[in-house]
Amino acid sequence: MRSGAPAQQSGPEEVACAIELDGARRVYELPDLGHLLALHDVHLSVAPGQFVSIIGPSGCGKSTLLRLVAGLEAPDGGVISLGGRTPTQAAEAKLLGFVPQVPALLPWLSVLRNVTLPTRLNRRAARRGADRAETEELLRKAGLGDVMHQLPSQLSGGMRQRTAIVRALALRPEVLLLDEPFSALDEFTREALQELLLDLWGELEATVLFVTHSISEAVRLSDKVVVMAPKPGRIVEVVDIDLPRPRTQELLTSAEFHAYELKVRDLLRGAFEHGREPA
Ligand SMILES: Nc1ncnc2c1ncn2[C@@H]1O[C@H](COP(=O)(O)OP(=O)(O)O)[C@@H](O)[C@H]1O
Ligand SMILES: [Mg+2]
């Protein structure tokens, strides 16, 4: 498995892309309530191939930030660049993989056909994405080898979430965006999926933005943890996680790891206190 260092430049097709937000701003107009500043002056630089987590209280703009990077919404100010492309261009070039909080699988298609749907529907995705044999291999790695011909309703929640992750990865995206993908899962399923995600990230060399509510998950997975606060939604600090990979059980119980958790916890406490309504 590779370290968290930026991917080596080996050709334009194989390089994960950098993500740059320069003064990104998003305002929602609320009927009768005026403006809501969901994101205010957000600056963030993510190097190609980095794994970056975003953590912060509900309503601080984490999902909004992901939607802007995914090109699903346009910013009201500032510039967002994915390896020199706008988010819309990157989405059109099929460079983005998106895993929502609740996996949106088509109930009448098998696991395999759900995963291959994007590449069957889109020529660009088909050119970039995994072929049938590679897709089946990804499914086996994700522990879905025995259920690939079953319907989503026959699977557990963890398996459905794995299917959604494999579907995003089968596009071989340069940028992988995950919005609290493990929040509905039990602790053990969650740990298994963290391992799977790190393994596949190591192989596919994507740049990852990962939204989570869990401090230990953020520190464990990431090269950087972005801490956000609400009102207005903004970044309060970016913590570099300077720990070697793979992050062994020994490392995860070390004083060094714990010190990072405490640092993120302190920043988050500040963010929560800021977001609380006055009594
Ligand atoms: N489409 C929308 N219309 C109006 N307000 C929105 C919309 N999407 C998000 N918001 C508001 O923007 C703020 C940030 O939301 P969101 O990005 O979902 O936060 P988070 O993911 O951190 O919980 C919240 O106050 C939310 O209510
Ligand atoms: Mg959200």
Tokens 């080996």, located at residue: 10
Q: How far is CA 20 from the centre of its chain?
A: 15
| Residue from 64, 102, 228 whose mutation best tests the ligand 1 pocket (most atoms within 8 A of CB) | 64
Whether residue 12 has pLDDT greater than 60: no
Ligand 2 ion: residues within 5 Å (CB): 62-63
Q: What is the mean pLDDT of residues 138-167?
A: 93
Give the pLDDT score at 279: 53
**Tokens standing for residue 269:** 């406490």
Instruction: Please tell me if the CB atom of residue 36 comes closer than 6 angstroms to any atom of ligand 1.
Output: yes
Q: What is the pLDDT of residue 204?
A: 82
Burial tier of 6 (Cβ tally within 10 Å: 0-12, 13-18, 19+): middle
CA distance 269 to 158: 30
Residue 34 has pLDDT above 50, yes or no: yes
Specify the pLDDT at position 15. Answer: 65
Tell me the domains of the chain and their CATH numbers.
1-95+173-251 (3.40.50.300), 103-172 (no CATH)
CA of 55 to the centre of ligand 1 (A): 15
Maximal C-alpha separation, the chain: 59
Residue 13 pLDDT > 70, yes or no? no
Regarding the beta carbon of 154 and ligand 1, being less than 6 Å apart is answered: no
Q: Mind giving me the DSSP string for 47-105? A: -TT-EEEEE-STTSSHHHHHHHHHTSS--SEEEEEETTB-HHHHHHTT-EEEE-SS---
* 63 within ligand 1 shell (Cβ under 6 A): yes
Encoded amino acid at 201, one letter: W
User: What CA–CA distance (Å, rounded) separates 238 from 205?
Assistant: 22
